[in-house]
Amino acid sequence: MRRVPAFAPWAALALAVVARAAATAEAPAPPPARVIAGELTRVDLGRRSVSLKTEGRDAPEVDAATGPDTRFVSRGRAVRLEDLRPGDRVVLALRDEGGRQLARVVKVVGRVALPAPSPST
């Protein structure tokens, strides 16, 4: 009969602990989202992207792609990219993915006030 070495149960226990830790290890956290606000200047349905003018003196125009996981929200309801219009005030949650800005959430928060019509004489 073969004798089991005295360290074998401890080695098996250590191997089980390491295997469980590797199996339950969390995936690396995605980079944090960047939140920006501004006015939509373009909605490109072909490229599935939006452009917005951010607020500020020398603020740049930001282009953001949308993907299948992008959520569009207006007044607490889900909307579609096709429902967005230039002039909408939006807040975007963006993340950098492969060198481009990907919108995770597009929330419509209002419309830019239209100028009052001139009085007719």
**Neighbour-count burial for 9-34, b at 16+ CB within 10 Å, e otherwise:** eeeeeeeeeeeeeeeeeeeeeeeeee
* 23-35 pLDDT, tens digit each: 555 656 666 678 9
* 53-79 pLDDT, tens digit each: 987 778 789 999 999 999 999 989 999
Decide: residue 89, CB within 10 A, 0-12 exposed, 13-18 middle, 19+ buried. Answer: middle
User: What is residue 82's DSSP assignment?
Assistant: G
* 2-52 pLDDT, tens digit each: 565 554 455 454 455 555 655 555 656 666 678 999 999 999 999 999 999
Pick the CATH number of 34-111 from 3.40.50.2300, 3.30.70.260, 3.40.50.620, 2.40.50.320: 2.40.50.320
Rounding to the nearest 10 degrees, give the CA dihedral for residues 47, 83, 41, 93. -80
